[in-house]
C-alpha cells in the first residue's frame, strides 16, 4: 500500500532553535498533504493543508510564521518549527491524500524542546 515516510521519529532541540520534519511519499505522488499536531492523551489537531507548488493553508489559530510548510515536490513535504519553545513540544504527524479517497499517515515525530 501507499506509504508516507516521516523523519525524524523523535528529536530534542534547544529552545530558540528551528527543527525540520520531513514527509516523503513512497511509490506515489502526493498532491495534497496535511500536518497534524497531537498533545498527550488528546486527539489529532489539523494544523495545515499543503498542495504541491502552492502556499499552505493554515487552520485558524496556527501561526504560519512559526510553522513553515514547504511542499515543493510531489513526494516531499516539510514542516519547520521555527524558534521552538517548550510549548511546541508535541507529536507531529503528516498525512497524504490518496486517489480516489482515503489517506495514509506518517509514523509521527515526537518533538521535545528543552
Q: Which residues bind other proteins (CB under 8 A)?
A: 6, 32, 34, 36, 43-46, 49, 91, 93, 95, 97, 101-108, 110
CA distance linking residue 88 with residue 110, whole number of Å = 10
User: What are the grid coordinates assigned to 114, written together?
Assistant: 528543552
Nearer to other proteins, 9 or 17 (CB): 9
Q: Closest CB to other proteins among 40 and 86?
A: 40
State the nearest-atom distance from the C-beta of 105 to other proteins, in Å: 4
The SS3 of residue 87 is: helix
State in angstroms the smallest separation of the CB of 21 from other proteins: 12
Q: How far apart are CA 37 and CA 91, in angstroms?
A: 6
Under 8 Å between Cβ of 7 and 21: yes
* Apex 87 CA angle, 86 and 92, nearest 5: 100
CB of 65 to other proteins, least distance (A): 22
| Least CB distance to other proteins at residue 92 (A) | 10
Closest CB to other proteins among residues 106, 113: 106
Amino acid at each position: 500500500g501507499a506509504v508516507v515516510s516521516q523523519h525524524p521519529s523523535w528529536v530534542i532541540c534547544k529552545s530558540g532553535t528551528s527543527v525540520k520534519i520531513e514527509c516523503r511519499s513512497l511509490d506515489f505522488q502526493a498532491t495534497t498533504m496535511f500536518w497534524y499536531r497531537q498533545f498527550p492523551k488528546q486527539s489529532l489537531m489539523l494544523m495545515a493543508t499543503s498542495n504541491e507548488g502552492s502556499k499552505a493553508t493554515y487552520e485558524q489559530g496556527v501561526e504560519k510564521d512559526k510553522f513553515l510548510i514547504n511542499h515543493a515536490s510531489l513526494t516531499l513535504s516539510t514542516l519547520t518549527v521555527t524558534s521552538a519553545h517548550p510549548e511546541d513540544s508535541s507529536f507531529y504527524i503528516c498525512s497524504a491524500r490518496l486517489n480516489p479517497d482515503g489517506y495514509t499517515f506518517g509514523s509521527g515525530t515526537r518533538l521535545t524542546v528543552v
